[in-house]
Amino acid sequence: MANIAVQDTTPPTEKGKLSRQARQRRIGMTTGTIIINLLLLLLLVLTVVPFLFMVLSAFKPNGEIFSSPLTFFPKTVTLDNMTALLSQFPFVRWAFNTLVVAGLGTVTAVLLASLAGFAFAKYEFRFKNTLFILMLLTLLIPGQVLLVPQFELMRDFHWFNTYQGLIIPRAVTAFGIFLMRQYTVSIPNELLDAARVDGASEFGIWWRVVLPLVRPGIAVLAILSFTGLWNDFFWPLIVTTDPSMFVMNLGLSALIGPYDYQYGILLSGALLASLPIIIVFLFFQRQFISGLTQGALK
């Protein structure tokens, strides 16, 4: 067959106009990308610089922290703040309490929220939608409104200065149940029916089928729960009066006296308290981002 050549009949002026428009679009896209990157860089600097100042000031003498003019890098590097924090105060005990509360609270929150989400997503029972809506409505109730009833319950249960008093009232949230329910809804019912045909119990279906498929949601909930419990201050302030049961945030705040401010010790404690959160996020960041992305797509 003979090749048929297709001639371009576009006038040269139109070609020049199209090429100029394409160049303008590329320039506009490049300019927009540069502006966005500069804004993100500015936000990064505003976020990182205070943290770096805290890290560097933890190794400064207390007098240098208040020096004028203010110095960013320490002129004299010292470990006296760390030594004083660990030797003069029960910081190790506070760190242990925080780890127990955050660790057990996170495990409890993930397991119970996943079970409740599985029930709301895959089972039919009376008033299911009503109960789910009522549960979501609790998100509109300020936590301060529930403070007095929770305080009365802690007193009746004799849970002051106990781990269960620190963990159980903050273990499960309506947001966690809602999050796990949304992830569980996407699991095909045929997959669960196939597991039932194979003889799996309902608990076995949840443990062996559902949990592996909702791992991104578990990662998101685990990180949010762990950071929330690790950084909690108000509830431990209510239910603990014994210094041996203080969590780190509460213990560090107790170091501020009416006449003495040892900011070097405080910054050293803040540095040690922030390290586990950074490690947890770095370890789970891929699952966290994947979970947020999947949730957005759903």
> How many angstroms separate the CA atoms of 170 and 168, rounded?
5
Q: Using an 8 Å Cβ cutoff, are 241 and 161 in contact?
A: yes
> How many angstroms separate the CA atoms of 22 and 6, rounded?
24
Q: What is the pLDDT of residue 61?
A: 87
Residue 172 Cα distances to 97, 157, 178, 208, angstroms: 19, 19, 11, 22
Q: What is the pLDDT of residue 298?
A: 47
CA end-to-end distance (rounded Å), the chain: 52
Q: Using an 8 Å Cβ cutoff, are 273 and 249 in contact?
A: yes
Q: What is the pLDDT of residue 1?
A: 45
Residues whose CB falls within 8 Å of the CB of residue 226, separated by 6 or more in sequence, listed in order: 102, 103, 105, 106, 277, 280
Type of residue at 46: L
Question: What are phi and psi for residue 260, nearest 5 degrees?
Answer: -135, 130
Q: What is the pLDDT of residue 68?
A: 76
What is the pTM assigned to this prediction? Answer: 0.80
Q: Which ranges of the chain does DSSP label H, i.e. alpha helix?
A: 12-57, 62-65, 80-88, 91-122, 128-137, 147-157, 163-167, 174-185, 189-197, 202-205, 211-213, 215-230, 234-239, 248-254, 263-297
Q: What is the pLDDT of residue 7?
A: 52
Helix axes 174-185 and 263-297, enclosed angle (nearest 10):
30
Let me know the angle formed at the C-alpha of 249 by 245 and 252, rounded to the nearest 5 degrees: 90
Q: What is the pLDDT of residue 294?
A: 55
Sign of the CA dihedral running 286, 289, 291, 293: negative
**pLDDT mean values, one per 10 residues, the chain (298 residues):** 51 59 71 87 89 89 80 85 90 94 94 94 92 92 88 94 93 91 91 92 93 89 90 93 92 74 85 86 70 51
Q: What is the pLDDT of residue 142?
A: 87
DSSP per-residue codes, 64-87: HHT-SS--SS-SS---HHHHHHHH
- Three-state secondary-structure class, residue 212: helix
Type of residue at 261: Y
| CATH code reported for the domain at 80-297 | 1.10.3720.10
> How many angstroms separate the CA atoms of 298 and 295, rounded?
5
